[in-house]
C-alpha cells in the first residue's frame, strides 16, 4: 500500500510566519489522514537559520518530535541542501534522532551569490529561489564528494535522494548515481521541477524512476513574467489545477521504481524562474503540453509573480489572504492525490 506524506514546504507561509511550528504541522498532516512528513531544514524567512522548519537540534526537542511521530505511527524524511561530509553528518545525527530514514538533498549552485539582495524574490532568504550562474562540472564533483558519506549511510541504514531541484536535468543526475553505484544514494523525483531546466517531466520520470527513492508530488502551470529573462515563470498550483499529466507521471514512477511513499509538496503560492537555457532539457519554448501558458494567478498590479512566495513583503492583508488560500490548497491537494492513488491501485 502506497503511503502518503506532506512536505513542510506545502505550508511554508504558516511556518515562516509563526502561525504553526513543527508540532502543529505534524498534527495537521495527521488531521489530513496522511502517513508521514518530510521536514525541510533549510533556512528561510522567519525560520531557524540552521534547522529550518524543524526549529532546533536540541536533544529534548528532537525527542518530542519523534514522540509525536511515533504517536501517530508516521514515517519521517528530511529535506536539506548541500552534500559536504560535515553537513550531511549533522543531518544524519538529527535523522537518527527523529527516526527519518531518507534524506532529500540537492547539489547547491553558488556562483555569483555575493550580490546584494533586498527582497525574498531576489534571493534575500534563499538563493535557491533565483537563477544563478551555473557550471555543470558540479555534478562530477558531487560524485566524488558523496563517496565520503557512504560508510555512514550504510551503518545508519539511511538513504539519500538527490533531487532534480530546478537546475538539474535527469541525465545529469542519473550520471551521478551511476558513478556512485550504491543502493544508499538514489534520486528524488520531483514531479514538476524538471520544467525549470526546460525538461518535460515525463522524460525526467522515465529516466529517474529506476533510481528514485523518494518524491515530491505537485502540479504546475506557466504564467507570463515580462520582467524575467525568458518572459515566463513556472508557477505552483494545488494538485489537480495545473497542466502536469499527474496520472501518467504517477504511473511511470510507481511502475518503474520501488518507492512505497509519495510526498506531497504543494508549492502554492510560488513561482520559479527557468534556471537553465531553453533547449537544455529538450524543450526550447513554452506554449504546449505542460508548458502551455495561463494568466497570472493574481492581479499583477497587486503582486508580481516573484513576490508570490513572500506576500508579507507586500502587505499584512495579502499575507492573511494567502495563508487561507494555501491551507485550502493543501486540503484540496491531499484529496486529489488520494483519489489519484486509489485510481492507480484499482486499475
pLDDT in tens, 57-89: 999 999 999 999 999 999 999 999 999 999 999
User: Cell numbers 533586498 correspond to what residue?
Assistant: 118
105: cell is 538533498
Domain boundaries, the chain: 3-345
Cell of 237: 498550483
Tell me which residue of 188, 178, 160, 161 sits closest to 253, measured CA to CA. 188
Q: Determine the Cα–Cα distance for residues 233 and 236; give it in Å rounded to an integer.
A: 10
pLDDT value at position 112? 58
- C-alpha 122/C-alpha 344 separation (Å) is 40
Q: What are the average pLDDT values for consecutive 10-residue runs of the chain, which has 347 residues?
A: 96 98 98 98 96 98 98 98 96 98 90 70 74 81 95 98 96 97 98 98 98 98 96 98 98 97 97 96 97 97 97 98 98 98 86
CATH topology of domain 3-345: TIM Barrel (3.20.20)
Q: What is the pLDDT of residues 195-209, one digit of tens each?
A: 999 999 999 999 999
The reported pLDDT for the residue numbered 241 is 98
pLDDT by residue (tens digit) across 101-139? 999 999 987 655 667 777 877 777 777 777 777 788 889
Contact yes or no for 219/238 (Cβ under 8 A): yes
Question: Per the confidence metrics, is the pTM higher than 0.75?
Answer: yes
Amino acid at each position: 500500500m502506497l503511503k502518503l506524506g506532506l512536505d513542510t514546504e506545502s505550508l511554508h507561509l504558516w511556518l515562516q510566519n509563526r502561525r504553526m511550528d513543527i508540532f502543529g504541522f505534524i498534527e495537521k498532516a495527521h488531521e489530513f489522514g496522511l502517513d508521514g512528513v518530510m521536514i525541510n531544514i533549510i533556512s528561510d524567512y522567519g525560520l531557524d537559520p540552521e534547522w529550518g522548519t524543524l526549529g532546533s537540534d536540541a536533544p529534548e526537542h528532537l525527542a518530542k518530535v519523534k514522540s509525536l511521530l511515533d504517536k501517530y505511527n508516521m514515517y519521517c524524511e528530511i529535506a536539506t541542501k548541500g552534500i559536504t561530509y560535515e553537513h550531511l553528518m549533522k543531518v544524519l545525527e538529527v535523522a537518527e534522532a527523529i527516526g527519518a530514514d531518507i534524506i532529500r538533498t540537492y547539489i547547491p549552485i553558488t556562483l555569483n551569490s555575493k550580490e546584494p539582495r533586498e527582497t525574498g524574490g531576489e534571493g534575500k532568504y534563499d538563493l535557491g529561489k533565483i537563477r544563478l550562474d551555473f557550471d555543470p562540472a558540479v555534478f562530477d564533483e558531487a560524485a566524488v564528494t558523496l563517496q565520503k558519506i557512504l560508510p555512514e549511510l550504510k551503518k545508519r541504514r539511511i538513504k539519500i535522494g538527490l533531487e532534480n531541484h530546478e537546475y538539474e536535468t535527469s541525465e545529469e543526475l542519473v550520471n551521478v548515481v551511476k558513478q556512485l553505484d550504491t543502493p544508499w544514494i538514489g534520486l528524488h523525483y520531483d514531479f514538476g521541477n524538471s520544467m525549470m531546466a526546460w525538461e518535460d517531466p515525463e522524460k525526467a520520470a522515465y529516466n529517474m524512476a529506476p533510481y528514485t527513492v523518494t518524491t515530491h508530488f505537485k502540479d504546475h502551470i506557466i504564467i507570463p513574467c515580462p520582467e524575467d529573462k525568458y518572459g515566463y515563470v513556472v508557477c505552483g498550483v494545488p494538485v489537480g489545477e495545473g497542466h502536469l499529466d499527474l496520472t501518467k507521471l504517477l504511473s511511470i514512477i510507481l511502475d518503474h521504481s520501488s518507492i512505497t511513499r509519495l510526498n506531497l509538496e504543494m508549492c502554492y503560492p510560488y513561482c520559479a524562474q527557468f534556471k537553465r537555457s531553453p533547449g537544455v532539457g529538450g524543450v526550447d519554448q513554452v506554449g504546449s503540453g505542460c508548458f502551455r501558458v495561463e494568466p497570472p494567478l493574481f492581479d499583477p498590479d497587486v503582486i508580481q509573480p516573484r513576490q508570490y512566495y513572500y506576500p508579507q513583503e507586500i502587505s499584512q492583508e495579502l499575507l492573511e489572504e494567502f495563508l487561507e488560500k494555501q491551507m485550502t490548497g493543501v486540503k484540496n491537494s491531499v484529496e486529489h492525490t488520494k483519489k489519484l492513488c486509489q485510481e492507480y491501485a484499482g486499475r
